[in-house]
Amino acid sequence: MAGSAAIVGAGMAGLSCATRLAEAGWRVALFDKGRGPGGRMASKVVTAQGLCFAFDYGAQYLTARDPAFVAQVRDWERQGVAARWPAAGEDGWVGMPGMNTLVAHIAEPLGVAWSTHIRAIRRDHDGWWLSHDERTEGPFDILVLAIPADQVPALAAEHDPALVELAEAHPSEPCWTVLLGFETRLSAPDILSAADPIDWAARNSAKPGREGGEAWTIHATPDWSQRHVESDRTSVTASLLRALEEQVGTLPVPVHATAHRWHYARSGKAGIGAYHRPDIALAACGDWLIAPRVESAWLSGRQAADTLIG
């Protein structure tokens, strides 16, 4: 029987769960502390010295292998918000014109409460209550935590020690990301082979639907990112720029260069799909419950919803 659901986290997992529940007639309320759609599928456009650069600085692309997700991605393609990116492989896709477009597209009909940081949760005989900086929301029949494993303990510790233990066993890895914009095209392939400290380097402007100048995104390896997690952005940018130069040769001075630190970049992989405590009407979903992929987040959210609906 349909009821009301609160979902904390409006990334791919939370949105997938919310969409499925809404289709089944549930009243869904989504809360996310981010200022807008994107999260780890973040994108932005930067202007520097009269030039415009488009960057995906979170997930660079997604793969579609599960039949249900393949069908979903093809539907996004028909709607013009996804396109194949052959450079990333036969099953590689990107959002159009940015990776965050997919998140925004899914979120648009769901009425997400952005810039809403859920600080505490409690449960009584009426259901779940969620407190943020302005007020307390509720009651809700069920609660879904669609947040990185690292953020689960702060909310769930008083309610579900087993979920906290599972989350703590599958922490995220950090990632430093550097965004570079050049006046001229680099003499390099669109995607470079990983070579420590670079885990991924690609010409973002080579993706379908991207406009603007020569834009490069560099992800550092997890180990390097962890060792330098407290370094300043200037030194990180300089280090990864040197590493790129070691691979492609002398580089022109970038007209735009900055770094972004992801504390929760690459999720763990519990391999269980989704989590459900029917006795207290609590569920959890996210890529960390399967494996670190966009597809995993979507599948986990869908599985959590199906379990609740069932």
**169-191 pLDDT tens trace:** 999 999 999 999 999 999 999 99
| pLDDT tier, 108 (very low <50, low <70, confident <90, very high otherwise) | very high
What is the model's pLDDT at position 264? 94
| pLDDT tier, 193 (very low <50, low <70, confident <90, very high otherwise) | confident
Question: In one letter, which amino acid is 264?
Answer: Y
What is the model's pLDDT at position 310? 86
**Mind listing the pLDDT tens digit for each residue in 123-143?**
999 999 999 999 999 999 999
CA atoms within 13 A on the CB side of 186: 29
Residue 309 token pair: 């609906």
- Which has the closest alpha carbon to 138: 150, 155, 121, 154? 121
41 neighbors 202 (Cβ within 8 angstroms) = no
Q: For residue 214, is pLDDT > 70?
A: yes
Average pLDDT, the chain: 97
* Residue 53 bridge partners (DSSP): 46
Given its phi and psi angles, is residue 279 left (phi above 0), alpha (psi -120 to 50 degrees) or beta?
Answer: alpha
Average pLDDT over residues 106-117: 98
What is the model's pLDDT at position 42? 96
Q: For residue 1, is pLDDT > 80?
A: no
What is the model's pLDDT at position 4? 98
* Residue 217 bridge partners (DSSP): 179, 202
**Mind listing the pLDDT tens digit for each residue in 26-40?**
999 999 999 999 999
What is the model's pLDDT at position 2? 80
82 neighbors 76 (Cβ within 8 angstroms) = yes
Tell how strand 282-284 and strand 142-145 pair up.
Answer: parallel
